[in-house]
C-alpha cells in the first residue's frame, strides 16, 4: 500500500515563518501599525510643500511584503483609523481628518494589500521582483495621496504632483533599493535557519 507524503505548508510571506495563528496575527497587525507610526516620526519637512520626507512609505512596503495582504492591510487600517481618531502618529505627529496628507495614509491600506499579495506570490524573493513589487506599491500610495492633496489644498493636479510627488522620487527610489536588498536577504537567511 502506498502512502502519500504530505509536505509542510511553505511560508508565503516572512510573517508565516513565526509560530502561532490568531495571537501571532493580532500581534503582527498591531506591530505593523505601530511600526508605521514610529517611522512616521522620522520626518523632515521640505520647504514649499506640506508633505514631509518620512519613513512611513518604507515601513508600509516592508509590512506589506513581510505580513501578506490581509495582515498588512489590517495593520494599515488600524494605523489610519487610530490617526484619524487622534493618535499623534502621522508624519510630524499629526492626527485627524483635516491633514492634506491623509490621502497617502489611505493609500497605505491598498498598497500594503497589493504588495502583500505579490510577496505571497514570490514578489519579494529576488532583488528585481522586489523592485517591481515595491515600485507598484509606491505608485499606489501616490495615486491616492496626490489627488487627495490637490483637493485638500484646492490646487490642480499638476501643482499637487509638484508638491506631493516630484520631490520624493529620489528618496522613494532609495527606499525601494533598500527593500530590494533586505527582503531577498531575509528569505535566504530564513531558508538557512529552517
Q: Provide the grid cell at 41.
A: 516620526
- CA-to-CA dists, residue 186 to 19, 44, 111, angstroms: 17, 29, 21
pLDDT of residue 61: 93
In order of start, what are the domains of the chain with their CATH numbers? 20-193 (1.10.1760.20)
pLDDT, one tens digit per residue, over 43-63 is 899 999 999 999 999 999 999
> How big is the CA angle at 26 (ends 23 and 31), to the nearest 5 degrees?
125
| Spatial distance between the Cα atoms of 101 and 72, rounded to a whole number of angstroms | 20
Residue in this structure with the C-alpha cell 508638491, named with its chain if needed: 163
Instruction: Indicate if the pLDDT at residue 7 is higher than 60.
Output: no
pLDDT, one tens digit per residue, over 88-147 is 888 877 777 778 999 999 999 999 999 999 999 988 888 899 999 999 999 999 999 999
The answer for residues whose C-beta is within 8 angstroms of residue 48's C-beta and 6 or more apart is 163
pLDDT, one tens digit per residue, over 8-47 is 455 677 666 666 788 888 988 999 999 999 999 988 999 9
Q: pLDDT band for 2, please (50, 70, 90 cuts).
A: low
Amino acid at each position: 500500500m502506498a502512502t502519500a507524503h504530505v509536505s509542510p505548508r511553505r511560508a508565503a510571506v516572512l510573517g508565516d515563518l513565526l509560530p502561532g495563528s490568531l495571537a501571532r496575527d493580532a500581534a503582527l497587525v498591531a506591530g505593523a501599525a505601530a511600526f508605521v507610526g514610529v517611522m512616521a516620526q522620522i520626518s523632515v519637512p521640505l520647504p514649499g510643500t506640506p508633505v514631509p520626507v518620512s519613513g512611513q512609505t518604507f515601513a508600509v512596503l516592508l509590512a506589506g511584503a513581510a505580513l501578506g495582504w490581509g495582515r498588512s492591510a489590517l495593520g494599515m487600517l488600524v494605523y489610519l483609523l487610530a490617526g484619524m481618531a487622534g493618535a499623534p502618529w502621522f508624519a510630524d505627529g499629526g492626527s485627524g481628518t483635516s491633514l492634506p496628507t491623509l490621502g497617502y495614509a489611505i493609500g497605505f491600506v491598498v498598497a500594503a494589500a497589493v504588495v502583500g499579495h505579490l510577496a505571497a506570490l514570490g514578489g519579494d524573493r529576488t532583488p528585481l521582483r522586489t523592485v517591481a513589487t515595491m515600485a507598484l506599491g509606491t505608485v499606489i500610495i501616490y495615486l491616492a495621496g496626490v489627488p487627495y492633496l490637490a483637493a485638500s489644498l484646492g490646487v490642480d493636479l499638476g501643482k499637487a504632483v509638484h508638491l506631493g510627488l516630484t520631490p520624493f522620487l529620489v528618496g522613494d527610489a532609495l527606499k525601494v533599493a533598500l527593500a530590494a536588498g533586505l527582503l531577498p536577504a531575509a528569505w535566504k537567511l530564513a531558508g538557512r535557519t529552517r
